[in-house]
Amino acid sequence: MKLIEANPSELTDRSERATAKLARIARGNTYLGGASALVIAKRLERMGCKFPALECVSDIYSRSNGSLGEYGAYKCPECGCVHLGQSAALNCCAESDFEDNE
């Protein structure tokens, strides 16, 4: 199943929204050049943020396929709920299907 990228504002958790927004900025840096996401991440780390800002930026900077991986907002292919990360979106309805079969 192909995942659909969602707008970070659709995430319910505040730190997840910030992570997804930072990941989008980092992806833009990889395409257009620049290091604004790295500057933001370093500033957030100094302020004591509650999400892995530097980890997120370094992961996105190292990707060459344009994917946001586990730091992007994605919709579940079955129900449309928005989750942070590809694996969380893919496992959304898969877990409930597995529980129903038991």
How many domains in the chain?
1
The predicted pLDDT at position 98 comes to 47
Reading the chain (102 residues) residue by residue, the pLDDT tens digits are 688 999 999 999 999 999 999 999 999 999 988 899 999 999 999 998 888 899 999 999 998 788 898 999 999 988 889 999 999 999 988 755 444 444
Task: Identify the residue whose tokens are 């930072």.
Answer: 22
* Containing structural domain, residue 61: 4-101
How confident is the model at residue 86, as a pLDDT? 92
User: According to the model, what pLDDT value does residue 20 have?
Assistant: 95
- Measured distance CA(20)–CA(7) in Å, rounded: 8
Residue 95 confidence (pLDDT): 57
Q: What type of residue is 75? A: K
